[in-house]
Amino acid sequence: MIVVTGGAGFIGSQIVAGLNRLGREDIIVVDDLTDGKKYKNLVVNKIADYIDKVEFRRLISERNNLCDQIEFIFHQGACSTTTEWDGQYMMDNNYTYSKELLHFCIERSIPFVYASSAAVYGLNSKFSEEPANEQPVNVYGYSKLLFDNYVRRLSADINSQVVGLRYFNVYGPRESHKAGMASVIFHFNNQIKETGELNLFEGSDGYADGEQLRDFVFIDDVVNINLWMMEHPIASGVFNVGTGKANSFNDVANNVVEWHGKGRVKYIEFPDKLRGSYQSFTEANLTDLRSVGCDYEFTSLNYGVNAYLNALNSE
């Protein structure tokens, strides 16, 4: 039995779909469906069972008989809202919950692959998995870094696979429930259909209008790296998951305009609330990922954006 926490979310539900393509349907999805709209991400997948997150935490704390059936855990469940400042809520969801699962897996030698984030790097300009580069600027990033460091401290005494994947800017189908936290491609698509204009931030941190750079990674790549880790149990550690190539927001906007064959870019004032806490540049260093034998070729921005827009506009 495979457990996918956050399995009704964006990345989690796509991992379930990836497992289905491998012929696996013995999957338990763990999530919180307070936002019932996320059911749409579940209904297209084949799973064995659904368990509410609160109930699942209780079951593993009591070492319920169900636990004996678990052979692998993909831990994607978290509060991923970077603008959430309720630290108690964030730390319980992202740190304490993760520790509970980690120790459950270590005790039973169950492979454990979990979602970390490029938010751990904050405003740094270097993106290799080294403590000197890790300076988060929000409590979300801090919660992820704290767990990465917890895993690092225990790593010498862990005999089973434990992998943290630091996702960069992920985009693709099944993210609509994320609302404001959905990718710029999702928002650009809506904007061009509604107003014919794409809103980009004016220049900041020395970058010209719309020239801020991010490492945009297609959801299929994120799923495939997760599945690669499952198929290569010797790999353990914390790894970046991005393309290794930064693109500007203008690049993304131009891709969207070209796909639609209409629209124009409108630059809007950079919000004061984001000054000092906005990543104007991210680019994954893939050295550590390659060092464990993962030579996966990531999707180009043009191909990924076009594939996503095809999916969005066929719904």
Query: What's the pLDDT tens digit per position in 158-210?
Result: 999 999 999 999 999 999 888 888 999 999 999 999 999 999 999 998 999 99
List Cβ neighbours of 223 (8 Å cut-off, separation of 6 or more).
11, 14, 15, 17, 18
Residue 315: band (very low, low, confident or very high) from pLDDT cuts 50, 70, 90: low
User: If you average pLDDT over residues 143-160, what whole number do you get?
Assistant: 96
User: Per-residue pLDDT tens for 15-43?
Assistant: 999 999 999 999 999 999 998 889 999 99
Least confident residue range of 117-121, 188-192, 273-277, 291-295: 273-277
Mind listing the pLDDT tens digit for each residue in 48-83? 999 999 999 999 998 888 888 999 999 999 877 767
Give me the half-sphere count of Cα atoms (radius 13 Å) on the Cβ side of residue 284.
Answer: 25
Distances (CA, A) of 175 to 40, 100, 140, 315: 11, 27, 19, 13
Q: What global pTM score does this model have?
A: 0.96
Distance CA(56)–CA(182), nearest Å, equals 27
pLDDT average, residue stretch 201-228: 96
The single residue of 140, 142, 167, 308 carrying the catalytic annotation is 140
140 is catalytic: yes
pLDDT at 7: 97
The per-residue pLDDT for range 242-289, each reduced to its tens digit, is 999 999 999 999 999 999 999 999 999 999 888 888 999 999 999 999
CB-CB neighbours of 272 under 10 Å? 7
Q: Which pLDDT score, from 0 to 100, does residue 199 have?
A: 96
Domains of the chain: 2-168+219-243+283-298 (3.40.50.720), 176-213+246-280+306-312 (3.90.25.10)
In this predicted structure, what is the pLDDT of residue 71?
97
Helices within the chain (DSSP H only): 10-21, 39-43, 53-61, 87-91, 97-108, 139-154, 184-194, 219-231, 249-260, 287-291, 301-312
Q: What tokens appear for 38 in the block?
A: 């996320």
Name the 3-class secondary structure at 315: coil
Provide the token pair at 296.
């996966």
Indicate if 178 belongs to the active site: yes
- Which residue in 50, 89, 150, 178 is the catalytic one? 178
β-partners of residue 116 are 166
Beta bridge mates, 73: 3, 112
Q: Name residues whose C-beta falls within 8 Å of residue 245's C-beta, 6 or more positions apart in sequence.
A: 215, 283, 301
Q: Which residues contact 239 (CB under 8 A, 6 or more apart)?
A: 129, 163, 164, 165, 166, 225, 288, 289, 292, 294
